[in-house]
Structure 1
Amino acid sequence: MAKDMKPRSRVVTDGIERAAARGMLRAVGMGDEDWEKPQIGVASSWNEVTPCNLSLDRLADAAKEGVHAAKGYPLEFGTISVSDGISMGHEGMHFSLVSREVIADSVETVMQAERLDGSVLLAGCDKSLPGMLMAAARLDLASVFLYAGTIAPGWVKLTDGTEKEVTIIDAFEAVGACKAGTMSLEDLDRIERAICPGEGACGGMYTANTMACAAEAMGMSLPGSASPPSADRRRDNWAHRSG
């Protein structure tokens, strides 16, 4: 007996009793030819709060194209994400770890309420990666995770003529050096302006990059997908393949 590719969503699409549900799904783009397709949730933590998540809208679009190509029907929804790099060092830090639970809870809630058959999960920040993976574990459905990717290093020229690559780690160290009197305010300012040249997660072995590697090692992400930087357009291919 062939395996049913719609183990959950038939309760939403099949039978005369589901006329209202089908009517709502028609409004978001589904049609008669789609009722036999598995419905795949594409969960993204895209936002403009931090550069970590800026590429996720583009990657979600590519993932949806991949779902369509695989004869499924993608339904995208969003969840929150908190930037550890911005929320640390003040009262906001009390909400960072909490956000992981909110992400897991919210993704699980949508997947369960809508009876979606599988998921593609996209995230780019420290707490959103484990939050997405926790949701996948709770749901125990066919799921693939895709990391947004790390940020590229910046390039700075200091007042003494020294030129070098810099990341957010250099900013943390520069603050200490400036307070210790071993670095000028001007050099600190130059480093600040150079550390984040575009989209992507913090350029260090922090939670986002380490969790991306762990997710790939566990088989939750496609092999090789953790490594390319966020701006690398190979990520669009990984997103399509994840779908």
Structure 2
Amino acid sequence: MTFRKADWPRRLRSQEWYGGTSRDSIYHRGWLKNQGYPHDLFDGRPVIGILNTWSELTPCNGHLRELAEKVKAGVWEAGGFPLEVPVFSASENTYRPTAMMYRNLAAMAVEETMRAQPIDGAVLMVGCDKTTPSLMMGAASTDIPSIVVTGGPMLNGWFRGERVGSGTALWQMSEDIKAGRMSQDDFLEAEQAMSRSSGTCNTMGTASTMASMAEALGMALSGNAAIPAVDARRRVMAQLTGRRIVDMVKDDLKPSDVLTREAFENAIRVNGAIGGSTNAVIHMLALAGRVGVDLTLDDWDRLGRDIPTIVNLMPSGKYLMEEFFYAGGLPVVLKRLGEAGLLHNDALTVSGETAWDQVKDAVNWNEDVILPVDRALTASGGIAVLRGNLAPDGAVLKPSAASPDLMQHRGRAVVFEDIDDYKARIADDALEIDETCIMVLKNCGPKGYPGMSEVGNMGLPPKVLRKGITDMIRISDARMSGTAYGTVVLHTAPEAAVGGPLAIVRTGDMIELDVPGRRLHLDVSDDEISRRLEAWTPRVEQPEGGYDRLFHDHVRGADTGADFDFLIGQRGRAVPRDSH
């Protein structure tokens, strides 16, 4: 694909604020000059908004202020005028009830920040899970030239000679505590090893998955996803990104030019190859909705089903993001898919070049990290989309993180009505449960939690763990961290809180999971299901007001991306009316 560049020079949207000698222009320009900017910066050069999700309460993004200075340097070098703008930052490791509840609020705030202020292009500075999709969603809705630069992953964690994957080790060690295989003192000693430098999770969790999705979509420069946060090359990437956004503004290269159907198909296949997070499904569906691309759960299953998982990273494999970068990073994966005819090689990227042009010379420096196809972790990776009378609108499972012996299983349901019910009962040795059972958690979807928290990878009962069992089938309408693992069915839709079939499952019901057959079936007659649904009453009350009420009233189901119904689609970059 060849991008047709726009005429240059031309009048930029920032000139609606800063151009000319009218009272209004002097008002806007004069106030900004109190920062010491000379007059010639307002002469029509591109104004670049550096949208920064830095926050001391978003530790994954705690270094982004320093990185923003490198972006500014690149913008200055290319003849632009950089202005740093703090935007909504939702951290998965601090926000309650869950950062996912605030993704849409962040996207809405970013969209209005972009539209209401005098910027011609935007650098989206992201890191922790929800910041990447929320900023891309906002940028997609305004369609102002935008480019992503991520903060990068942490360095490898090490504890007593073993790699420690952030998040993944937390789930493993907490189960070891319950099973009596690890002491609390050792757990506390390992805590610091999990997060030993700035950056996001060092596993292929949601943050690194979404960084990979941004690169696979063509919304970031090639190689952006894997460079460690503290590596000098991360700062180089930031500076190059600053240079590039100025040219993108001059060319009027917009998100809608990059975020095409072909770009989303590339990203779905890449997600399968890297063993990416199930959270990518919900974020990518929402992003596609912003640009008018008709993307569905069935596309995820169809496009990812035959993709081998070749990136040997936790939680699916052995290594961490640092080794992935040293091995060649995402360009190697893209090249591998392109050579196999599994990539739309001519898809446009923010570089102005095609996807193939970006990666054709990539070299794999470690074939134990980025595996040959004949040694893939999972021959058929991707995201499995399950349907049946328990999930009429779909549910998802990550095969690369699941146990092969549980992929076809029929078991007795042990039901937890909500997360509090689970926490109250799971450690009781009197609970009638063993490893053949299927754990079912309700009322943890978009409306039910609210916000759809990462509680789907329920910890196993201690009495089962003590037998040496490490995995059981778990089903819920919740999400799980991308750092987690196990045979976990997630995003079951419709969710229990709106009366989906999950709501009427009872302890003792038999459930059949057939991942190869893409089936999730409740062994209860249709008549009985109808009777139970007729008798069902909601457990979740409508909030009285505030953002809780807005969220409850307007969030859509997980199967369509859990965006707000009134935010779907593009609203453009039109300059708001001046009020002065």
- Tell me whether 1:23 sits opposite 2:30 in the alignment: yes
1:164-175 maps to which residues of 2 (within 5 A)?
164-168=162-166, 169-175=168-174
CA positional deviation for 1:6: 4.4
Compared CA separation, residues 48 and 68, structure 1 to 2 (3 A): same
Between the two proteins, what is the percent identity of the paired residues? 36
- Tell me whether 1:45 sits opposite 2:58 in the alignment: no
CA contact (8 A) 1:45 1:122 kept: yes
Give the Cα separation in 1 of the matches to 2:214 and 2:182. Answer: 39
Give the Cα separation in 2 of the matches to 1:214 and 1:190. Answer: 34
Match of 2:41 in 1: 34
Give the Cα separation in 1 of the matches to 2:122 and 2:112. Answer: 13
1:74-127 Cα deviation digits (max 9, x unpaired): 11111232321344xxxx134x11321222222222221113111111011100
SS at match of 1:58: helix
Greater displacement, 216-225 / 14-23:
14-23
CA positional deviation for 1:167: 2.0
Give the Cα separation in 1 of the matches to 2:36 and 2:213. Answer: 36
1:139 to 132, 138, 142: 142
1:62 to 60, 65, 70: 70
Give the Cα separation in 2 of the matches to 1:86 and 1:118. Answer: 30
Give the Cα separation in 1 of the matches to 2:234 and 2:79. Answer: 21
Which structure has the greater CA radius of gyration?
A: 2
* Paired amino acid for 1:140: D
List gaps (5 residues or longer) in structure 2: 1-5, 243-580
Give the Cα separation in 1 of the matches to 2:26 and 2:58. Answer: 41
CA positional deviation for 1:164: 1.1
Give the Cα separation in 2 of the matches to 1:167 and 1:29. Answer: 46
CA contact (8 A) 1:40 1:73 kept: yes
CA contact (8 A) 1:171 1:191 kept: no
Match of 1:93 in 2: 97
* Paired amino acid for 2:97: M
* Paired amino acid for 1:171: L
- Tell me whether 1:12 sits opposite 2:12 in the alignment: no
CA contact (8 A) 2:114 2:139 kept: no
CA contact (8 A) 1:45 1:78 kept: yes
Count matched residues.
233
CA positional deviation for 1:15: 2.1
CA contact (8 A) 1:6 1:39 kept: no
* Paired amino acid for 1:41: G
CA positional deviation for 1:235: 0.8
CA contact (8 A) 1:6 1:37 kept: no
The answer to which structure has the higher helix fraction is 1
List gaps (5 residues or longer) in structure 1: 158-162
1:170-209 Cα deviation digits (max 9, x unpaired): 1221011101212111221221121110111112222211
Match of 2:86 in 1: 78
Compared CA separation, residues 5 and 239, structure 1 to 2 (3 A): farther
Higher relative contact order (CA 8 A, sep 6+): 1
TM-score (norm 2): 0.39
